[in-house]
Amino acid sequence: MTAVEPIPLVKASLGEQELAAVAEVFASAWQAGQGPKGKALEAALTARYGAGDAVALNNCGSALHLALLALGVQPGDEVIVADYSFPAPAHAVHYVGAVPVFADVRADTGTVDPAAVEDLIGPRTVGVIAVDTVGLPADYAELKAITDRHGLFLVEDAACAVGATYQGREAGALAPVAVLSFHGRKGITSGEGGALIATDPAVAAHARLRSSFGIGSIFDQAKVVGLPIPEFTEIGYNYKLADIAAAILLVQLGRVEELLERRRAVAARYAELLADEELVTLPHVPDDRTHAWQSFLLTLDAGVDRAAVAADLRAQGIGCGHGTWASHLQPVYEAKQQCPTSADLFRRQFAVPMHAELRMDQVDRVVEAVRVAVRAHASARV
């Protein structure tokens, strides 16, 4: 019996160039964080995003935490967060003792609804964290106008959106502070990793100090003649990105367009083949932005049994997932708000394989399996 080739939901695009970069760090005198490769990565990110500064970090959750600390969020403050998202933004708000307030999203894009944000602003609101949902930028013109009008900060969670654009500007440069993720399923990756991008260098400097236990770069201090004794000036954290990972990311950063073009081709093939399938709705990308395609989410008809579809695909070796989370429904938050659009997307969206290593024959096989499964598990319509 011929074995069925598995088609994973996600797969990183890592190869010989990345291995060579790691070998170079192995042969060097510094493999830990805030070394020469980390500094080079920060310089490359600063240049790419036209920022005041960038800080390389161990993950995007750390970047969110440090951003809120640098922005002065205090216990009891309220921060409005996009609801339909991996809940890292709301977690970060809790890290600083503040209260996440969940804003509902647009039905067509899954990105935060600016009108919902404005409706939630109250006397304790200090800022907004928008999310570029699975790689699609939010409505930053409207969000910036709202936050400016009310004197609030705006943070862009561009974790999934490296390479995406909004009105000609790149995701990661759409708000005064932005955070990136380099997790294994993102457009570029070092397995784990993240970054904080800031227009104001002082915000980045605060984050960099807090990312290293509050004592700054040991690598820099070791180059000083004599015996400098670091002083702990802040309560900090160990959020540094190892130079091994930074070396991988320097290679990956140079491959952004190549890898994104391959993802775009996969997305176009899915859209072409599923355009006439009545039981699924394809992702919507407004004309003023482009998608990074971290994920490809189908919205299933309300009558389709999503769990049964997933079981059928997985039985054929095809990876799939539920999409992302309606954060306000997660038990950890005990939220009393209602975000009906987010809740609906959480129930009906369905992730099919999306990565730069997918072949078109694999996409064709996924589409055929989806067609058969959604039709087999759709309830009869009246």
Contacts of 25 by beta carbon, 8 Å cutoff, 6+ apart? 31, 37, 243, 244, 247
- Can you give the pLDDT at residue 2? 62
What is the 3-class SS of 292-338, one letter each residue? Answer: CCCCEEEEECCCECHHHHHHHHHHCCECCECCCCEHHHCCCCCCCCC
Q: Is 186 a catalytic residue?
A: yes
Q: Which of 11, 37, 186, 336 is catalytic?
A: 186
Task: Give pTM, 2 decimals.
Answer: 0.96
Residue located via tokens 């996009």: 82
79, burial (CB in 10 Å: exposed 0-12, middle 13-18, buried 19+): buried
Residue located via tokens 């003649």: 225
3-state secondary structure of 16: helix
pLDDT digits (tens, 9 = 90+) for 107-146: 999 999 999 999 999 999 999 999 999 999 999 999 999 9
Q: How confident is the model at residue 382 (pLDDT cuts 50, 70, 90)?
A: very low
pLDDT at 1 over 60: no
- Can you give the pLDDT at residue 234? 84
- Can you give the pLDDT at residue 227? 82
Measured CA to CA, the distance from residue 131 to residue 324 in angstroms comes to 12
- Can you give the pLDDT at residue 34? 86
pLDDT digits (tens, 9 = 90+) for 296-343: 999 999 999 999 999 999 999 999 999 999 999 999 998 888 999 999
Domains and CATH numbers, the chain: 16-255 (3.40.640.10), 257-376 (3.90.1150.10)
User: Is 371:277 a contact under the CB 8 Å cutoff?
Assistant: yes
pLDDT digits (tens, 9 = 90+) for 42-92: 999 999 999 999 999 999 999 999 999 999 999 999 999 999 999 999 999
pLDDT digits (tens, 9 = 90+) for 335-380: 888 999 999 999 999 999 999 999 999 999 999 999 999 999 998 5
